[in-house]
Structure 1
Amino acid sequence: MEFKQVTLENLSTEHICCAISDKKGENCVASKKAWMKERLKEGLVFNKLDVRGKVFIEYIPAEKAWYPIIAEGYMVIDCLWVSGQYKGQGYGDLLLEQCIADSQAKGKKGIVALSSQKKMPFLSDPKYLKHKGFQIADTAEPYFELLYLPFEKESDIPRIKENAKKGVISEPGLVLYYTNQCPHTDKYVPVFAETVKNYGLECKLYHINTKEAAQSAPAPFTTYALFYNGKFVTNEILSEKSFAKLWQKLNHPI
């Protein structure tokens, strides 16, 4: 099997892996592709196995990344995903190796990935990356780890911006920050908003639609960051059921 890179020339016709199983995901795909179109102009790379499956890596120069991090000269992995029948066949290793080779060829200092203390949905697997030589560069509340793989020993150590370190905001109630970096936000943010409304609650939604806003966000993971009464709660993109479980966990039984 061969790998294929999504480019400005083939973006309109190529599938983007992470939303292909969603039969009602046309709008989600469109929002992600619109986001990608602008990022491809800024150096984003989307490399995938040439199959209709979730086997891909997406990365971008840190200066253009939609994360509140300082990692000048590094490449940032947005997502590395191998699922289903393609697991355990070495495709993740190959995608990462290609990312490393490409980043070195472009003169980068190393690679950065946002992860967590233990494996969490939508974040890079810390066990896998540490096995591949990644080290902890910085941390942020409540569980985020910024991992990096330097190409030279003297490379600067990346860090998370102070505005995203503490996982707190001043606004009360439910507050959600999100971007279109993941196609699933286009589908599930409206679901979340409607679910909250059905419970008689209110939620303030902040759609992050610029790199500058993302780099100034109050949480390291800008794709989806939910706060409740001033504290970060989760980065997991919530369905109606998963929100119900979370709300009960927050001592508010439905």
Structure 2
Amino acid sequence: MELTHCNIKIITLTKDNLEKEHICCAISNNKDCQVASKKQWLSKRFADGLVFKKCDVRGKCFIEYIPAEKAWSPIEADGYMYINCLWVSGQFKGQGNAGLLLDECIRDSKEKGKKGLVALSSKKKLPFLSDPKFLRYKGFVLADTAEPSYELLYLPFEGNAPKPGFKDHVKTPKISEQGFVLYYTNQCPFTAKYVPLIEKEAKQKGVEFKSIHIETAEQAQNAPAPFTTYSLFYKGEFLTNEILSEKKFEKILFLLNK
């Protein structure tokens, strides 16, 4: 499906065009592990109502959203649409593309009878989370918070719409297992590349490390942290949601061992 706004073509991914379309966030071919894992994840989510809309460009200029009941996030937001990711970067920033994609999401969600939109953000901009400044500028308000700095922001379509919230168990993210424990999904293509690299690095350094691959919405909705795409714990405490390279992981090891 294609729409054109102000000479910008917006393409909606479907099972029919998924293989031929560039998915924006991993610029490579379909044989790349990142592209393959992301497209496989997407193809399984279409039946749950997931929508991926992108500007017709080769770059990061897209929005991905799903009915909150099927969201891979431990939230309570029945009747809402949950934004997985809104990403506009590089040469496509500063041209109104983010607003254009968000407006298309709003239009589509209202057409589907949703109560509003909800998105995971933070007190200040953090990697892989929605920009709180942009969302607030667009009318989103605070629904709930979780430690250490997560914010659940929402945009109700009507004044009496119920307020969404985090599930109680993630408001203070903790686990009982020691060592490093990583929870991750294939919602982001980068995990397919970087999780194995971190696993290898930990093994080479003799570091206790366990990765838990979340493979269903039910598992994600019961995960121990708000950001299920990538959440790293150490000695039971939440450490970071940033998808780490080997160098960044080495830096964390250095700081913890000082």
TM over 0.5: yes
Deviation at 1:24, TM superposition (A): 9.7
The equivalent position to 1:159 in structure 2, one of 151, 161, 165, is: 165
Deviation at 1:208, TM superposition (A): 0.3
- Distance in 2 of aligned mates of 1:233 and 1:24: 32
Q: Work out whether residues 165 and 218 of structure 1, in 8 Å CA contact, stay in contact via their aligned partners in 2.
A: no
Q: Work out whether residues 37 and 192 of structure 2, in 8 Å CA contact, stay in contact via their aligned partners in 1.
A: yes
Q: Structure 2 counterpart of 1:91, which letter? A: N
Runs of 5+ consecutive residues of structure 1 not aligned to the other structure: none
Q: Structure 1 counterpart of 2:24, which letter? A: C
Q: How does 1:126-205 map to 2 (within 5 A)?
A: 126-205=132-211
The TM-score with structure 2 as length reference comes to: 0.95
Q: Structure 1 counterpart of 2:33, which letter? A: N
After superposition, the C-alpha distances for 1:123-175 in whole angstroms (9 at most, x for unaligned) are: 00011101111111011111110000001111110000112111101111100
Whether 2:65 is the aligned partner of 1:64: answer: no
Whether 2:73 is the aligned partner of 1:34: answer: no
The equivalent position to 1:5 in structure 2, one of 12, 19, 27, is: 12
Q: Secondary structure at the match of 1:222?
A: coil
Q: What residue in structure 2 maps to residue 252 of structure 1? A: 257
The equivalent position to 2:248 in structure 1, one of 239, 242, 252, is: 242
Deviation at 1:197, TM superposition (A): 1.4
After superposition, the C-alpha distances for 1:6-31 in whole angstroms (9 at most, x for unaligned) are: 111101111110001x5797111111
Q: What residue in structure 1 maps to residue 238 of structure 2? A: 232
Q: Structure 2 counterpart of 1:5, which letter? A: T
Q: Secondary structure at the match of 2:182?
A: strand
User: Aligned in 2, Cα 1:24/1:44: closer, same or farther, shift over 3 Å?
Assistant: closer
Q: Secondary structure at the match of 1:2?
A: strand
Of 67-76 and 162-171, deviating more is: 162-171
- Runs of 4 or more, structure 1, over 6 Å off, are none
Q: What residue in structure 1 maps to residue 51 of structure 2? A: 45
Q: How many residues align?
A: 251
Q: What residue in structure 2 maps to residue 85 of structure 1? A: 91
Q: Structure 2 counterpart of 1:149, which letter? A: L
Q: How does 1:211-226 map to 2 (within 5 A)?
A: 211-226=217-232
- Distance in 2 of aligned mates of 1:66 and 1:25: 25
The TM-score with structure 1 as length reference comes to: 0.96
After superposition, the C-alpha distances for 1:101-134 in whole angstroms (9 at most, x for unaligned) are: 1111110000000001110000000111011111
- Distance in 1 of aligned mates of 2:208 and 2:179: 7
Q: Work out whether residues 19 and 30 of structure 2, in 8 Å CA contact, stay in contact via their aligned partners in 1.
A: no
